[in-house]
Amino acid sequence: MTMVRLEHVTMRAGSTTLVSDVSLDVAGGSWCTIIGPNGAGKTTLVAAVAGLRDLAQGTVSIDNERLDDLSERQRARLVAYVPQHPEVPAGMTVEEYVALGRVAFHGVMRPPSSRDRDAVTGVLERLELSAFRRRDGASLSGGERQRMVLARALAQATKVVVLDEPITGLDVRHQMDILEMLKKEVAECGLTVIATLHDLTLAGLFTDRLVLLHRGEVVLDGPAHDVIRSEELGQSYGTTLRVVSVDGNDVVVPVRGDTHR
């Protein structure tokens, strides 16, 4: 069943076209990652999926609801968004920050219900953050903070979560932790994930489907293994890439001193 549908999406900044005529259907309970070189339009496209950017043309629908027909609060019940550089206010505890994910349900002027509090507690437990619930969120390490940001998104209890480079700045262990947590949510909870990732090896390892974007257009769309091993991948990035198999997994290695133009 299609959970997210983009139909002929075009986005511009002034006279510059950032995304051009992109159409995608993303099945519920799957993980789709947008890849491509810097400036390809990845961040712009996922912001559109989250309902955060205006479209020049086309439509974005989630669970058969067109986002441009919905209020901000209605959209927040359908899709959660994790930006590349989330702001964590100083003085706000982990629990308070995660609880912001429930505002779409109880509103700004009303206190959270017992159901809201239970949802926050459940997410803190799932992401192993219970021990940090009283800590100042700004005092956490990079990996802990990113788990907290992900917990806020999951507390929204949406069917779709959109993430823009969720592992930027994290060491290898914490990158794997975050991606494993997301994979578990997809497998066990039926979550639909749409993300951008720079690391092509990790994108291929965790993702069901890869969409290769270049200059705002979809170059290739298919199973991760097929896209990772395609000629179009290196051509889009402007360099020669070698793919080797390690324990059955594709590892992408750039070849030094050999570039395409």
CA distance 150 to 16: 32
Taking only the tens place, the pLDDT of each residue in 150-198 is: 999 999 999 999 999 999 888 999 999 999 999 999 999 999 999 999 9
pLDDT at residue number 46: 97
Q: What confidence tens digit (pLDDT) does each residue in 225-256 have?
A: 999 999 999 999 999 999 999 999 999 999 98
CATH code at 245? 3.40.50.300
Same domain, 29 and 50: yes
Cα–Cα–Cα angle for 54, 58, 59, rounded to 5 degrees: 75
pLDDT at residue 258 in the model: 58
- Give the residue, 259 or 28, on which the prediction is more confident: 28
Sign of the alpha-carbon torsion through 54, 75, 73, 197 = negative
pLDDT over 80 at 107, yes or no:
no
Kindly state whether residues 166 and 152 are assigned to the same domain: no
Mean pLDDT on 121-125: 94
Q: In the chain, what percentage of residues exceed pLDDT 70?
A: 98
- Choice between 115 and 27, residue whose per-residue pLDDT is larger: 27
Three-class secondary structure of residue 226 per DSSP: helix
Note whether 80 and 103 are within 8 A (CB). Answer: no
Contact 107, 67 (CB under 8 A): no
Residues 39 and 131 in one domain: no
pLDDT in the model for residue 106: 80
150 lies in the same domain as 162: no
pLDDT at 259: 55
Going by pLDDT thresholds of 50, 70 and 90, the confidence category of residue 260 is low
Whole domain around residue 198: which residue ranges? 2-78+158-259
pLDDT at 155: 94
The answer on 70 and 8 residing in a single domain is: yes
Contact present, 33 and 196 (Cβ < 8 Å): yes
> What element of type H or E holds 123?
helix 114-126
Beta-carbon count within 10 A of 144 CB = 19
In angstroms, the CA 18 to CA 236 distance is: 16
**Within this chain, do residues 11 and 136 fall inside the same structural domain, yes or no?**
no
Same domain, 21 and 90: no
Domain identity same for 33 and 162: yes
What pLDDT does 256 receive?
81
Q: How many domains does the chain have?
A: 2
166 and 207 both lie in a single domain: yes
Say if residue 129 is in the same domain as residue 91: yes
Q: Helix axis angle, 114-126 relative to 142-155, nearest 10°?
A: 140
Extract the runs of DSSP E, i.e. beta strands, from 178-238.
Answer: 192-196, 209-214, 217-223
Where are the strands (E) in 167-248, listed by range? Answer: 192-196, 209-214, 217-223, 239-246
Which one-letter amino acid corresponds to residue 255? V
Q: Of the candidates 157, 173, 191, which is a domain's last residue?
A: 157
Predicted confidence band at 111 (pLDDT cuts at 50, 70, 90)? confident
Q: What is the pLDDT of residues 41-97, one digit of tens each?
A: 999 999 999 999 999 999 999 999 999 999 999 999 999 999 988 888 889 999 999
* Model pLDDT, residue 193: 98
Considering the domain architecture, whether residues 73 and 166 belong to the same structural domain is answered as: yes
Whether residue 138 is found in the same domain as residue 166: no
Burial 107-125 (b: 16+ CB within 10 A, else e): eeeeebeeebeebbbebbe
Residue that terminates a domain, selected from 157, 186, 210: 157
Tell which of 157, 176, 200 closes a domain: 157
